[in-house]
A and B are shown apart, each in its own frame.
Chain A
Amino acid sequence: MPQQAMPPLAMTWLMASLVMVMLPHVPRMPLWILLVYALAALWRLQMLRARLPMPAVAIRLLCGLGGALLVWLRFGTLIGLEPMVAVLLVATGLKLLEAVRLRDGYVLVCLGLFLAITQFLFSQSLPLVLWIMLSSVLLVTALILLNQTPGTRLSYRQPLLALRMLALAVPMMVALFLLFPRIDPLWSLPSRIGQGSTGMSDVLSPGSVSRLARSADVAFRAQFVDEVPSPSERYWRGMVLNRFEGGAWRRTDMRQLPPNEQTVFSPDRLSAAIRYRVIMEPSQQRWLYGLPYAQSNSPGVVASPDNHLLLQEPITGQFAYDVETWLGVRVDQALSPWRRDYEQQLPPGLNPRTRAWVAANGATTPRQFIDRVLAYFRTEPFYYTLEPPPIADEDFVDRFVFDTRRGFCEHYAYAFVVMMRMAGIPARVVGGYLGGEYNPVNNTLIVRQFDAHAWAEVWLAGEGWRRVDPTAAVAPERVSLGLEAALADDPGFLASSPLSAYRFKGIGLINWLRLRYDAVAWRWQAFVVGFDSDRQIRVLQSWFGELRPGWFVMVLFGSALLVLLPLTWWMHRVRRAPSPLATERRFAVIAEQLAQRGMARGPAEPPLRFLKRVRHYLEKNDPLLLELEQAVAALYQTPAQFNSGSVELKVQHSR
């Protein structure tokens, strides 16, 4: 095959579809990379109009190396998902510059498909998938345009053909998706870098929770098998913070616990189990959330000695797990001496005013003291606000409790636990979410970042760990109605989500659509994105009973045949070939047309002789002559050799 040039139409189409594919990367990439692509595309367009030459090899090489260097400077490394995508984008832009041959078109299409795959490594949400599907149709259209005869115009036909081919590929794709064994990673590939963790952090300091109230992003969704618990029971327990250090509450690493403290205590269950499935959005953290006290048998989920759930690896993609919860339990009725001591530790010397207040308000039982503190919060002028005055003081509790008295949940939980420990009561801070919007479409609670919350747990003899939420003493509507009701006029609320559909939930139609869409997104996450080997085996077992390896092969081929056979039949439907009679008729029609022009066929004149006779009266390119030649050729199944009458012409060509 000779080297063929790329059709200009295919080139421009390819450029546009590549823009489509890379568009979702825009927020993740430095701006100059997009400029590189835009410049390359503009240059290439000028090349199409022959206004600019192709840059020399040396220049293109320099651009490539320079691009890689800039990427390295920007990310500090080339190993990692973002820098790799950045390099791929630069390479695509530069390839555009030198894409003049037909085969370069195929390279560009494959680069586009790679870019499409990289999009999925960042997100697998429904809108993105639809976007990539649309881009794929455009890229396949580009393939078709590459193979058109020169001069073919763009019409609806080419995209339609691409769409048809891709639509026909869908059933087999679904079969492969269901049946292809989900094997473990063959080797580890670079993951995302510079990706800040989102959601609750495991260090609780003033302001660490209130910053989350600015965002309406979904933290996780939970679908309940039966009834959804009432709002005041929706405490999603995430992490236990029982170590005070550096002015903040932190968690205790499991490995730092004494060996006999590492066992997971199974609580006494006093009520029936509540079952639900949670799908976490990627948080880049290990915490899983569940109503207290939760148990999960999903793979990868571990229970900590503090009775909360966590993962061994940070969550980089959506993660689904099934949970069983018992709202009525007794946890840790007996506390080991080590534990009792550990849960009361406080650095000495801090917060002297609070210490004095605790000593002055001593009570006979822990329960009495808790009530006294909560009553103090309730009666004194404490305010619940997103933007409290900053306190840059070592004695944070003193300043908060006696001076500013304005705070968000972390301020109250922080101060409450400090006061409990001062009084010799084992207490700790618990971080998680409180609340969740109920979606009646699929019986789901949607928990958003602004639902983030911190509360306290106090150990009481005979009762074990008990939840105490000091925020409820200040702003009871936070618990019963949610953050929105408690902070309706606070300007910081949802400040960083100006366009979130959640903001428009007052409009009936939008809210209806929003909840519908959320239910679809749930299904998508639960059944497609979360389709793993366990689910695969379960699905296949429910269809085919016991699984044998042979089944996979048979079902795979069976489904392929199911699609291919009708397709084959449809494409190979026999259309009647022209019969000999039709050939005769064709000749007769042409002869009749010639007769009207004064060249009648003699009675019983053989067609070939008729042709030879008529040829002298007709122009060489007369369409009727061509048709007659074809008709005669079809009539005679003999060698086609008719000497032309235009010998003179030939003579002029010969020497």
Chain B
Amino acid sequence: MAAVKTPAGTLLFAPLTAPFQRRYQRWLRRRLPPARVITLEQRRLFIFPTRAGFFFMLALLVMLLAAINYQNNMAYGLTFWLAMLFVVAVHFTHGNLLRLTVVAVSARSAFPGQRAEFRLQLRGTQRRGHCGVRLLWPESEAFVDVPPGADVTVNLFLPVTSRGWFVPPRLTIASVYPLGLLRCWSYAQLDMRALVWPKPLTPPSAVITDASSSGAGDANQSGNDDFLGFRDYREGDSLRRVDWRGWAREQPLQTRVLASPQSTHHWLDWAHFPQGDTEQRLSWLCWLALHYDAQGQVYGLRLPTVTIEQGTGPRHLEAVLTALALYGVSDRPRGAL
């Protein structure tokens, strides 16, 4: 469920307002369904004066009183002109956000405690562009202009806490442009999610030796020094082993082949950790996966539900981490969406 910030003062009345809040949230969800590409149409936009707007209206009232009391036609004229400017500003502020398109481009994975990167794209569908657009998430915001006919990519970072899928809360898209007297805004429940890996935790030292396969004792050897030769780059090779110097000489991309001792083949096995609970076990396995990957060793994963064959390289690591992250997590956990 999307988190909605409530001012502290309303907590007192929370029991009273809660049903209404729930109903309001339900109504918002119905009115603004989640989607990958959201164009801010008329019915999605809300508009209301800002504090500066109310201050401006107060100033207009004082000016009107001056006009009445001094019977001054030019004072009337200026007051009416500015009042009608306010009306025109309603249109301009509304028109500034109208048909702005927000595209959920991508979400990057992260470990708990980190911030996951969400990439959004703002696309102007009007000739005049959109100015001073503010994208607001509770802990992240951006303030950008979308020039006419251009796309703007915005990266927002949201802190993630627990393993599994992280669905960002409802995004607020707001703008007070051009006069700052009115605020036009919309909510967008973007259909995007980031995968949160397990938190890497150092396993009990005994387990490391237990967990490693036969030939323990070689675990700390790097093996990187035993250079055998080059072969053509293949997808999934570690970037650290790419021969960048050769590539810089405009030779084809090649990978250094290193002599890996047999003893560095490992299995990350769920069954090796009988003592911890599920999250702990996953955290330990995660740590081990990162550990082996850093040392360039070959490892595989055995979970009760899934087995990943032994391998190496970033894509392998990603597959392992993903399997760990999704262990016991349904693909569509937030059915509410």
A561 to chain B minimum Cβ distance, whole angstroms, is 12
Known: A629-B119, A639-B192, A654-B114. A147 touches B235 (CB 8 A): no
A164 to chain B minimum Cβ distance, whole angstroms, is 9
Contacts of A140 in B (CB 8 A): 85, 179
In the complex, are the beta carbons of B109 and A103 less than 8 A apart? no
In the complex, are the beta carbons of B85 and A166 less than 8 A apart? yes
Q: Mark A628-641, 1 if CB is under 8 A from B, else 0.
A: 01100110111111
Q: Could you tell me the distance between the alpha carbons of A384 and B59 in the complex, rounded to whole angstroms?
A: 57
In the complex, which of the residues B88, B94, B101, B153 has the most CB atoms of chain A within 10 Å of its own CB atom? B88
Q: Could you tell me the distance between the alpha carbons of A490 and B88 in the complex, rounded to whole angstroms?
A: 58
Q: Is A643 an interface residue (CB 8 A)?
A: yes
Known: A120-B74, A147-B179. A114 touches B125 (CB 8 A): no
Contacts of B321 in A (CB 8 A): 647
Binds A, one of B2-10, B13-21, B36-44: B36-44
Q: Is A548 an interface residue (CB 8 A)?
A: no
Q: Is B105 an interface residue (CB 8 A)?
A: yes
Q: Is B306 an interface residue (CB 8 A)?
A: no
A598 to chain B minimum Cβ distance, whole angstroms, is 11
Contacts of B121 in A (CB 8 A): 630, 633
In the complex, are the beta carbons of B63 and A113 less than 8 A apart? yes
In the complex, are the beta carbons of B178 and A165 less than 8 A apart? yes
Q: Mark B112-146, 1 if CB is under 8 A from A, else 0.
A: 01100001010001110001100000000001110
Of B84, B88, B111, B194, the contact of A654 (CB 8 Å cutoff): B111
Q: Is B98 an interface residue (CB 8 A)?
A: yes
| In the complex, chain B residues 77-115 whose Cβ is within 8 Å of any chain A Cβ | 77-85, 87-89, 91-92, 94-95, 98-99, 101, 103-111, 113-114
A605 to chain B minimum Cβ distance, whole angstroms, is 14
In the complex, which of the residues B81, B143, B200, B314 has the most CB atoms of chain A within 10 Å of its own CB atom? B81
B86 to chain A minimum Cβ distance, whole angstroms, is 8
Q: Is A542 an interface residue (CB 8 A)?
A: no
Contacts of B85 in A (CB 8 A): 140, 165-166, 169
Q: Could you tell me the distance between the alpha carbons of A186 and B65 in the complex, rounded to whole angstroms?
A: 8
Q: Is A149 an interface residue (CB 8 A)?
A: yes
Contacts of A31 in B (CB 8 A): none
| In the complex, chain A residues 135-155 whose Cβ is within 8 Å of any chain B Cβ | 136, 140, 143-144, 146-150, 152
Chain A, interface size category, equals: 35 or more
Contacts of B95 in A (CB 8 A): 571-572
In the complex, are the beta carbons of A529 and B74 less than 8 A apart? yes
In the complex, are the beta carbons of A114 and B78 less than 8 A apart? no
| In the complex, chain B residues 290-309 whose Cβ is within 8 Å of any chain A Cβ | 290, 293-294
| In the complex, chain B residues 251-271 whose Cβ is within 8 Å of any chain A Cβ | none
Q: Could you tell me the distance between the alpha carbons of A177 and B73 in the complex, rounded to whole angstroms?
A: 8
A32 to chain B minimum Cβ distance, whole angstroms, is 26
In the complex, are the beta carbons of B235 and A613 less than 8 A apart? yes
Q: Is A57 an interface residue (CB 8 A)?
A: no
In the complex, are the beta carbons of B107 and A641 less than 8 A apart? yes
B337 to chain A minimum Cβ distance, whole angstroms, is 9
Q: Is A75 an interface residue (CB 8 A)?
A: no
Q: Is A51 an interface residue (CB 8 A)?
A: no
In the complex, are the beta carbons of B66 and A117 less than 8 A apart? yes
In the complex, are the beta carbons of A640 and B106 less than 8 A apart? yes
Q: Is A650 an interface residue (CB 8 A)?
A: yes
Q: Is B272 an interface residue (CB 8 A)?
A: no
In the complex, are the beta carbons of B200 and A654 less than 8 A apart? yes
Contacts of A626 in B (CB 8 A): 105, 153
Q: Is B244 an interface residue (CB 8 A)?
A: no
Q: Is B71 an interface residue (CB 8 A)?
A: yes
Binds A, one of B48-56, B205-213, B215-223, B274-282: B48-56
Known: A117-B67, A144-B178. A641 touches B52 (CB 8 A): no
B252 to chain A minimum Cβ distance, whole angstroms, is 11
In the complex, are the beta carbons of A152 and B62 less than 8 A apart? no
Contacts of B29 in A (CB 8 A): none
Q: Could you tell me the distance between the alpha carbons of A529 and B75 in the complex, rounded to whole angstroms?
A: 10
In the complex, are the beta carbons of A571 and B91 less than 8 A apart? yes
Q: Mark A274-314, 1 if CB is under 8 A from B, else 0.
A: 00000000000000000000000000000000000000000
In the complex, are the beta carbons of A177 and B66 less than 8 A apart? no
Q: Is the interface of A mostly helix, strand, loop or mixed?
A: helix
Contacts of A106 in B (CB 8 A): 52, 55-56, 180
Contacts of B62 in A (CB 8 A): 114
In the complex, are the beta carbons of B108 and A637 less than 8 A apart? no
Of A152, A168, A185, A531, the contact of B88 (CB 8 Å cutoff): A168
Contacts of B88 in A (CB 8 A): 165, 168-169, 567
Of A107, A121, A148, A646, the contact of B132 (CB 8 Å cutoff): A148
Q: Could you tell me the distance between the alpha carbons of A180 and B92 in the complex, rounded to whole angstroms?
A: 25
Known: A166-B81, A180-B76, A653-B114. A149 touches B132 (CB 8 A): yes
Q: Could you tell me the distance between the alpha carbons of A438 and B23 in the complex, rounded to whole angstroms?
A: 77
Q: Mark B165-179, 1 if CB is under 8 A from A, else 0.
A: 100000000001111
Least CB separation from A139: chain B residue:
B82
In the complex, are the beta carbons of A113 and B72 less than 8 A apart? no
In the complex, are the beta carbons of A146 and B180 less than 8 A apart? yes
In the complex, are the beta carbons of A182 and B191 less than 8 A apart? no
Q: Could you tell me the distance between the alpha carbons of A172 and B113 in the complex, rounded to whole angstroms?
A: 56
Contacts of B108 in A (CB 8 A): 642-644
Q: Is A489 an interface residue (CB 8 A)?
A: no
Q: Mark A515-558, 1 if CB is under 8 A from B, else 0.
A: 00000000000001111100000000000000000000000000
Least CB separation from A612: chain B residue:
B315
Q: Could you tell me the distance between the alpha carbons of A165 and B180 in the complex, rounded to whole angstroms?
A: 14
Q: Could you tell me the distance between the alpha carbons of A528 and B78 in the complex, rounded to whole angstroms?
A: 13
A111 to chain B minimum Cβ distance, whole angstroms, is 9
Of A630, A634, A651, the contact of B290 (CB 8 Å cutoff): A651
Of A107, A172, A633, the contact of B55 (CB 8 Å cutoff): A107
| In the complex, chain A residues 113-127 whose Cβ is within 8 Å of any chain B Cβ | 113-114, 116-117, 120-121, 124
Q: Is B243 an interface residue (CB 8 A)?
A: no
Q: Could you tell me the distance between the alpha carbons of A166 and B180 in the complex, rounded to whole angstroms?
A: 15
In the complex, are the beta carbons of B91 and A568 less than 8 A apart? yes
Least CB separation from B199: chain A residue:
A654
Q: Mark A175-190, 1 if CB is under 8 A from B, else 0.
A: 0110010110111110
Of B36, B144, B195, the contact of A638 (CB 8 Å cutoff): B36
Q: Could you tell me the distance between the alpha carbons of A616 and B75 in the complex, rounded to whole angstroms?
A: 67
Contacts of A578 in B (CB 8 A): 125
Q: Could you tell me the distance between the alpha carbons of A305 and B132 in the complex, rounded to whole angstroms?
A: 70
Q: Is B330 an interface residue (CB 8 A)?
A: no
B144 to chain A minimum Cβ distance, whole angstroms, is 6
Known: A120-B72, A641-B194, A645-B318. A165 touches B36 (CB 8 A): no
Of B63, B67, B69, B125, the contact of A188 (CB 8 Å cutoff): B69
In the complex, are the beta carbons of A176 and B153 less than 8 A apart? no
In the complex, are the beta carbons of A642 and B106 less than 8 A apart? yes
In the complex, are the beta carbons of A180 and B80 less than 8 A apart? yes
In the complex, are the beta carbons of A110 and B59 less than 8 A apart? yes
In the complex, are the beta carbons of A647 and B317 less than 8 A apart? yes
Contacts of A633 in B (CB 8 A): 36-37, 103-106, 121
Q: What is the interface of chain A, defined by CB distance below 8 A to chain B?
A: 102-103, 106-107, 110, 113-114, 116-117, 120-121, 124, 129, 132, 136, 140, 143-144, 146-150, 152, 161, 165-166, 168-170, 172-173, 176-177, 180, 182-183, 185-189, 317, 528-532, 560, 564, 567-568, 571-572, 575, 577-578, 613, 616, 626, 629-630, 633-634, 636-648, 650-651, 653-655
Would you mind naming 5 contact pairs between A and B with Cβ atoms under 8 Å apart? Answer: A120-B74, A147-B132, A186-B68, A646-B314, A647-B314
Q: What is the interface of chain B, defined by CB distance below 8 A to chain A?
A: 35-37, 39, 42, 51-52, 55-56, 59, 62-63, 65-85, 87-89, 91-92, 94-95, 98-99, 101, 103-111, 113-114, 119, 121, 125-127, 131-132, 143-145, 151, 153, 165, 176-181, 190-195, 200, 235, 239, 290, 293-294, 314-315, 317-318, 321-322
Rank and list the top 9 A-B pairs by shortest CB-CB distance, nearest first: A169-B84, A120-B74, A176-B80, A106-B52, A640-B192, A172-B84, A571-B95, A110-B59, A147-B180
Given pairs A177-B76, A571-B98, A577-B39, 7 additional interface contacts (CB within 8 A): A107-B55, A186-B65, A528-B77, A530-B73, A577-B101, A629-B119, A640-B192
